Structure 1
Amino acid sequence: MTLWTFQCLLTRFASHTAAAETAPNDFSALSSLKDTWKNTPPDWEGSDPCGDGWDGIKCTKSRVTSITLSGVGLTGQLTGDIGSLTELNILDLSYNKGLTGPLPASIGSLKMLNTLILVGCDFTGSIPDEIGNLRQLVYLSLNSNRFSGPIPRSIGNLSKLYWLDLADNQLDGIIPVSSGTNPGLDMLNHTKHFHFGKNKLTGNIPPELFSSDMALIHVLFESNQLSGSIPSTLGNVTTLEVVRLDNNSLTGRVPENLNNLNHVRELFLSNNKLSGPLPDLSKMNSLNYLDMSNNGFEQSDFPLWLTTLQSLTTIMMENTQLQGEVPSSLFSLANLQTVVLKNNELNGTLDVRTSKGGKLRRIDLQNNHISELKPQDEPSGVTIILVKNLICEDTEAADAAYCKIPQPNVSNPILQNNCQPISCNKPDQVSSPNCVCAYPYTGAFSFRAPSFSDLGNGTYFLILRDSLMKSFAAQLLPVDSVSLSNPTRDSYHYLILNLSVFPSSQEQFNRTGISSIGFLLSNQTFKPPKEFGPFVFKGDPYRYFEDNSESSKSLNMGIIIGAVVGGSVLLVLLVLAGVYAFCQKRRADRAIGQSNPFGRWDTKESNSGIPQLKATKKFSFQELQKCTKNFSRENDIGTGGYGKVYLGTLPSGQRIAIKRAQKESKQGQLEFKAEIELLSRVHHKNLVSLVGFCFEREEQMLVYEYVPKGSLKDAISGKSGIRLDWIRRLKVALGAARGLAYLHELADPPIIHRDIKSNNILLDERLNAKVSDFGLSKPMLDSEKDHITTQVKGTMGYLDPEYYMSQQLTEKSDVYSFGVLMLELITARKPIERGKYIVKLVRNAIDKSKELYGLHELVDSAIGLGSTLMGFEKFVDLAMSCLQEAGPDRPKMSDAVKEIESILLLAGSNPNAESASTSASFEELSKGSSHHPYGNDSFDCSTSTSKN
């Protein structure tokens, strides 16, 4: 370091000292938060957050006025010290799932706060009454947490409130309105958004809640426990655009004056107990989406006023007591996309006359009395479903397409890349729409009331993408491109859409970029096209920050301070030289250690600081080369995503399967070491054992026990020449379940397999099942007892939809995959075959009033249909339980083990008895055949010669 450089550093230090400006109370509050939270930004150092520009902190003069730290991985609790930041205007901590505990009452001390956004955290407890002290508050978003208790009456004091979102919590009690001196939500005349869906609110919807003075545009009360009638005062709020009252227990007639709401685009009244005549909504000219299904309306003819609403895209009137003929003019509505009129009393002739260039795609009239379908002049591209109508009882029409339930379209219409996607070498990197490898910021939109139902129309999503990019550009955010994918409807009728945002001119975002993107989406700065309606975004934790060397910065500052105090330039130079030499030595040692992470392993000596690899051997490259005749083609017994598998035999006579990684699939050295340590700790008769490994000559090889009868997939497909009867399939399911239960509950740490499928269940010589291929497995550490947030990996068809949507991995994701495996065992069908998903296929076909639940046509003929399949229905019940949409509703694997054991007992077989390979529970159909999924010959390491 030159004297000039040292003088520059001194000058820099002096300038920072002079610029120190953070008020002491604010610094103390931030310091307390820093001490309480984990994963705070690394530049939260020093005594001047304002002057030093701490990430996420903005100041005006000496006071902290903004904290925006969305999606940066904070964990811990929001302590009462937050109340000391009395000049704070904005607090956004959204998408930090690790933020837990109650919201402190001191939040009410932030009298200058205008924006409070805590979306998608894990706060619990009641919302404090003190929140009513925040008289400047404009945005209040506490949705997607675990708040419980009542909605505070004091929120009625927030006269400037524009946005109120309390949805997706566990709030209970009534909707509060003012009474005497007590405030209530009816006082919020300037608020435009009441978002209270997905809670446990009870009681009636108070008539006092609504008035003509209100500016409400969204009333979202869906999926609560509300009762009583719909108040007629709702019809006085003529500014309304979206009304969701569905999935409650509302009774009585629909108020006639709802017809006055001529700005409403989406109206959801379904799944209540509404009665009386079907309401006349003929004046609601803006209506796009109407859902009145599953109520107790009086029987009536099809309402002709529906044919006059030219904006309609979607009509959902299932089980609404409709009768008579459906007017042909209905299908001529220019914007109509979907018509669902299932479970009514409609009859006569169906005449589908679509307008030229019409958008109609689906007409569902299941379970009515339609007797005739008028032939169309030309193909219209409309899917018509008339299952369980009179027309389908005619034998001549029984095979017609409209007499069958079509398989759902699983295609993804969204946004092709602008170029040829490239392969990314770094783990977790993704090729962007502009074909640049990067670490995107990901999450999922939930659009709560979209005005369209045709998810196959990519035009909507192109418009949304362009709108997003314009918003990012307007805020000068470092975004290169965005990707939208997998549009689906969930059980709440929300449109779920995955989002990936890619950084511009770099591989990853910094914390400021992530927080800025999160803030734009959490505080509704981004306004989606009107077709998408109200939304909430749930961001995933971002784990790819590339931090500057803050420790180096701190070290330099420490040296400068020492120099100032000591006053000796020479001394500082000597200290720096010593520190530099020490750091260089440490860096060299670390580089050596990383180049050979196995160097300190000793599988023989007992040392508490060294991983103990039980029964796991480190093989030399030469040993395995001899075992495989120099990895010859004749020893090649399989290929997977990891690489090739070779067969060999150890000098002891034990046969082994050697997985040799291809260059492009090799892990980092430390990751490979970690996987070996993990696998060496699991030992169970229903798990394929790791015998050893080889890490030499840049090779990565795993050595497993050889399992001779190949994979379950080959067995049930007939490829391996093995036939499995009902008892043997039950025992295979039991073995796989026991292996998984061991991983989940007895391994230390517990392990989630993440890739359960028939190809990864191997059969030994006695046809016992062994779970294999732990390449995607994840250990469940103490800090991750609830879930692991990770990039989605697995095999399509077996993949847990909840894990796919949330990227939150739990052991219940394995349970879902096991449920798919169970259906594969009884049907011998692939999970996705010719566009048909086995789960939906079975779910739609189940009829519990029939033998074998009516699944005769789906059951594999090789299972032994001629015999009695004892326990079959219980097996199907267990499979469907494993396939529940929500993870908590699925059984644990240990419970699945107990249930399969009881099924085996019911079928007359001992669940703990192994059957020999010559038993009647299977037969080899191709005896003497040379085909085998692993190959035929083994090669003894001690005798085979290598070809070099």
Structure 2
Amino acid sequence: MENTQLQGEVPVKLFSLPHLQTVGLKRNQLNGTLVIGMGFSNQLSLIDLQNNRISGFKGTEGYDIRIILTDNPVCEETEETKTYCVVPQSNSTSLYTTPSNSCLPTTCNSDHISSPTCRCAYPYTGILFFRGILFSDLGNSTVYVVLETSLKQFFQSNNLPVDSVSLSNPRMDLSRYFLLNLDIFPYGQDSFNRTGISTIAFVFSNQSYKPPSSLYGPYFFRGDAYNHFSDPKSSKKSTTGIIIGAAVGGSVLLLLSLLAGVYAFHQKKKAKRASLESNPFAHWDVKKSSGSIPQLKGARCFSFEELKKYTNNFSEANDIGSGGYGKVYRGTLPNGELVAIKRAQQGSMQGGQEFKTEIELLSRVHHKNVVGLLGFCFERGEQMLIYEYIPNGSLYETLSGKSGIRLDWTRRLKVALGAAKGLAYLHELANPPIIHRDIKSTNILLDQRLTAKVADFGLCKLISDSEKGHVTTQVKGTMGYLDPEYYMTQQLTEKSDVYSFGVLLLEMITGRRPIERGKYIVKEVRMAMDKTKDLYSLRQILDPAIADASLKGLEKFVDLAMNCVEDSGVDRPTMGDVVKEIENIMQIAGINPNVESATSSSSYEVASKGSTLHPYSDESFASSGTFLVSKV
């Protein structure tokens, strides 16, 4: 955790974490006395606290641990040079050592770095960002051996001027990306020329290099500035050559001056045209689309032709779902990664504001229980969003038996916890907070491990600082899940999502849709409940798939659901409280909450301004259709 504004003293317990190998806390504001203690991890090899405010160090230098405290007061206030006050000669410690790298240690000048082959050089450095790694043991050197070997072989097989590569400092950032420092060392000389750097950068920018294993997933590379270009010219310059060069330069100076203006004018026009062509939102209609162009963080713009190729021309074989907005197609990227492509059909596309909102939000929202946005397409009149592929469909498809997956009581608790965590993240950790407005079983997706992921952000609403508490807005949502208080007052709060989540919990235990044959699930459960009897006397309305099983914690689960659907928002819990309560229920059921493990309802915009009718009163279900809705 470098340069993250950490403050205070480093706790001794940090070093006793099991399997801890490296502590990297450079460039922070840590202070006090560093105490390693005697109970540190037997795998700990490096503690790097450069550039902090550490004023003391208790211990001896006899630890079998490399400790670096340079640029701290503890090193500035002593005349005696301590080993922990000296920066190691090489800051490119590789994650592994192979026999081919065996060589004698090399002492390099202060501005050089020793390569894995023990040559002093100026490497091209940067950071590899991996979006979705499939391994959790960051200390397992095997996965880095494969990656490092693959990188070196790729560079050499493509005749790039690379002698060796080095990976170091594996870590996770705040966006849950996996980061690796990459040093690339030049071949046959101590620095790269400009052509070499450009070629290497191009390899990463156009994704020519593919990681050797699916463990790493998609990636991108962010290179550092390179300031050590080799000089291709001889150091011995002929005086005659200098004179001739100056004469020729003076002769053409006037001509160049005349041509420069004309050339610059044409280049400016050309650059403007290129910018318009390359900008996916160059034709974004601010008036019709309700706002400025989307501000993106990490989402990639795909061309229509790319997506057409990835889906085999949007073939029926790749059609995996549909709804009021259009269809969803399965696509395969060149690296083999599966994606889900949500394509709005012509004539019934999502509104410009909803499309823009979903792109902006999902491009900066990163949580394991929120579906990940990989990119979008906005050209040829198309609106397409490219998501991570979720293989097991929606929770609704599973509860209804369409997916073929059986959810027992244990799995349902885990799915409920995952969905709650995703929603709590949106409410409490996203900046600014996000109200989803359309929580329902068709918008909870299940991945290959049945991990729940909140999806479909087309109706979500950002809550700014000036709108803390509630925001008055047009009522949107899905009948059956819609918060009655929001419907009647048009005042949207996070508690509106809590209500929808409570309905979802009841759906999970009954296997019934929120409104089925004119009966509303909240009213049906409330009428059938008898807290003096076993399972609250609800066995008759439980989902048959779990009705005969041991249902430890069911009563608490029902209590939580009914608390979530209280008529008044102030009486409902927060999503953070919901997460804690589900964790408690899981413990009652003997489950460790920390262990991981297609008819769709339509969304509606309710024409209800000024209405006083409760949306789920008996009149709402009458055939006369007094509850007015219009499809979004």
Q: TM-score, normalised by structure 2?
A: 0.48
Indicate the structure (1 or 2) with the bigger Cα radius of gyration. Answer: 1
